[in-house]
Structure 1
Amino acid sequence: MPVMEADNATCDALLPGLRESLSKNSLAVLEAENGPAIGLFRCYGGTGLLVPSSYGGTGATAQDAARVVRALGAVAPSMTVATMMHHFSIGSLFAIARAAPSPELEAGLGHIAGQRALVASGFAEGGLERGILNPTIRARHVDGGYVISGAKKPCSLAHSMDLLTASVALPTPSGAPVLGMALLPAGTPGLTVHPFWSSHVLAGAESHEVRLTEVFVPEEQMLAPVPELTGRLAQAQAIGLTWFQLIVCAAYTGVVGRLVRRVQEGARGSTADRTALAVRLESAAALTDGLARRLDDDSGDSDAVLGHALVTRRAVQDAVLDSAGQAVELLGGMAYVSSSEPAYLLAAAQAIAFHPPSRSRAVDSLAAYFTGRPVLTQ
């Protein structure tokens, strides 16, 4: 299939050896909770995919990243979903670094690139009405820094993370909290991981609960911008949310692509059925690539790009869910009962519907976009 061939070529060029090493393992091994996929992702430099080359990273464009994520989604779904949050964190961090430069953030980004660090997300990205500028983790000021408490569940990469990025509500004299961002090493006292994910589907993503209990954060580890930067940080938030939608779309298009490829290779169903299925998959990929190009163009209208991202997410989600069911039907009952792979990939594809924003939560934002009103409001 043309789109999958292009995706594989981009992945092999930017992260040489990763896809080949992953493919030496069975799907069951890669998807297990303690499987090798996340370790291989780190070993082959996947952590630096979106890190600019000036920091020692790969410096992939958004379109390159979409292709790489699709290629990996077809090989190792759990790893791709887990590292989706790493990519989201990296995209958000660099957007915030451009909006509110600071030596501490610069140092943190350099560490991420140099140490091939995996970054878990403690951002409150659970919906457009609760973004990184309206976090759930709260802080109080103490001598030398802050004490924060809260939790994130599920939190992918819970066991493999080297750093946790967490958006934090910081107190102000006026009583209205402002955004802060904590960069916490995984071994920080008071940061603990607790079992949460009970399903065998996507178990390899390490999506468990991360708790922060009276965690002390020194001043230098907390980004606390001045109030006059709030508008620029809102733009950074929109960019971060757009990155999230882009990676979600790419990851799950890759997952369902594995099913569609099996249909094509096995010549299952009629030519018309197979063609319609392939068209649906390539359309989802084209929509995702179109969003990536808008991110790469960096027009400055981050709110409009976020609206485009929500439209893309809705269309790709429908395509993924429909294509997964159609592909399993065309593969047939014998394929379904003789191997666990079709049922597993079908179940994994359904998870695209569970990433924020939900269909109901996105309605008002989409309506705002279509009528020329701001998509992201504070």
Structure 2
Amino acid sequence: MRSLDSAREVCERFHPGLVKALGELTFAEREAPGSPVIDLFREHGGVGLLVPTEHGGHGADPVQAVRVMRAIGSMSPSLAAAATMHHFTAATLYALAPTEGRLTGAQIDVLKSVVPDRKIMASGWAEGRTEQNILMPAVTAVAAPGGYTLSGTKKPCSLSKSMDYLTASIAVPGPTGEPELAMAIIPADSPGISVHPFWGNDVLAAAESDEVRLENVFVPEDLIIRTTEEDPERMEALQLAGFVWFELLISSGYAGAAAALVEKVLQRRRGSATDQIQLVVKVESAFAVLEGAARAVLDGVDGEEAVAAALVARFAAQQAIAESTATALELLGGLDFITSSDSARLASGVRPLAFHPPSRASVAEALIAYCAGDALVLA
């Protein structure tokens, strides 16, 4: 399919050989527990997609990034889900780097090591907890000499077995004693971090989405990114930016998986020309709305306007993806379903988009209020 070929060409420019390496595995091998797809992602420069060029990365813009994620999703929905967690974490952290004084030496050292050492960053934010805002702290922090001890759990936590760093939103005492939002960068080999089985579904099984527990994990002060008096709103702005990146990247991966199923329909000439073009229009529109939101961000839209655009795009894509995969599976027919589980797993692999926060129900009133002219307030 032409648009998927184009997305794969963009992926090839940023990650030479990745699509080919993924294609040398069967779909079942790509999606199985213990799959090598995350290792392939690491080997082919995947970690550097959103890392700025001054830190050795590719510095991809939002439009390029969603195209890369579409290509990856078309090959391995599991990898797309896992890679999203690294990418939106990177986008958030590196947004701090250009301004002198915002980061400590230790924090800068972490950022400088990601690309040359192929470090993978997992997210310990609230994403994954039912009906929870991904911007809310998921880990408790208790002051300790020289830093904080962190306790909590993240389940599911993609990249749980491959991560080199875990990032987590935490609440720490501010200058007035009131809690304020901060971000912790936690080396994955820190004492007190453990990984436990959690993911019990065959769908997206290669994303390593198990439970990560933190039990009194010490993190030094210089690996805690805090709000400053000179820049009191920076954490909120950064988290909003991370929110936008997350919604666009995760949705684009699922849009790629849906397109891969439609590609099968076209290759096998299943259904009438009318059936096929209706299917193409549906799946192409799912990605077009995501790319449109990404282009708006590229053109300078930010803040709550960008968040609203990302949410509208995500929910529009979510509906179109669900409809197009159901139709594609029907057109591929019973014999395809009987003789191989690949199409059924691909169709099932897009459904988790509905489970990523925020749910439509949880933000419906906030979006309606925003459309009516009020501020966008995500509870």
TM-score (norm. length: structure 1): 0.95
Q: Deviations over 1:16-62 (max 9, x none)?
A: 10100110000111111111111000000001011011100011111
Pairing 1:164-313 to 2, within 5 Å after superposition = 164-172=166-174, 174-226=176-228, 229-299=231-301, 301-313=302-314
Q: Which residue of 1 aligns with 2:20?
A: 20
CA contact (8 A) 1:97 1:105 kept: no
Q: Deviations over 1:210-240 (max 9, x none)?
A: 1110111111111222255332322221111
Between the aligned residues of both structures, percent identity stands at: 41
Pairing 1:322-361 to 2, within 5 Å after superposition = 322-361=323-362
Q: Which residue of 1 aligns with 2:125?
A: 123
CA distance in 2, matches of 1:97, 1:369: 31
Count how many residue pairs are aligned between Structure 1 and Structure 2: 376
Q: After TM superposition, what 4+ stretches of structure 1 lie above 4 angstroms from structure 2?
A: 96-100, 126-129
Give the CA deviation at 1:339: 0.8
Structure 1 counterpart SS, 2:163: coil
- Give the counterpart letter for 1:287 in structure 2: V
- Give the counterpart letter for 1:364 in structure 2: E
CA contact (8 A) 2:29 2:35 kept: yes
Q: Unaligned regions of 5+ residues in structure 2, if any?
A: none
CA distance in 1, matches of 2:237, 2:50: 19
Give the CA deviation at 1:156: 0.1
Q: Deviations over 1:151-202 (max 9, x none)?
A: 1111000001111011111124644211121111110000111111011111
CA distance in 2, matches of 1:202, 1:54: 34
The answer as to 2:38 corresponding to 1:35 is no
CA distance in 2, matches of 1:130, 1:260: 33
CA distance in 2, matches of 1:39, 1:348: 20
CA contact (8 A) 1:95 1:236 kept: yes
CA distance in 2, matches of 1:130, 1:375: 13
CA contact (8 A) 2:226 2:235 kept: no
The answer as to 2:371 corresponding to 1:364 is no
- Give the counterpart letter for 1:190 in structure 2: G
Structure 1 counterpart SS, 2:195: strand
Q: Which residue of 2 aligns with 1:151?
A: 153
Q: 1:127 to 1:363 in 2, by over 3 A?
A: farther
- Give the counterpart letter for 2:357 in structure 1: P
Backbone CA RMSD of aligned residues: 1.8
CA contact (8 A) 1:69 1:251 kept: yes
Q: Which residue of 1 aligns with 2:103?
A: 102
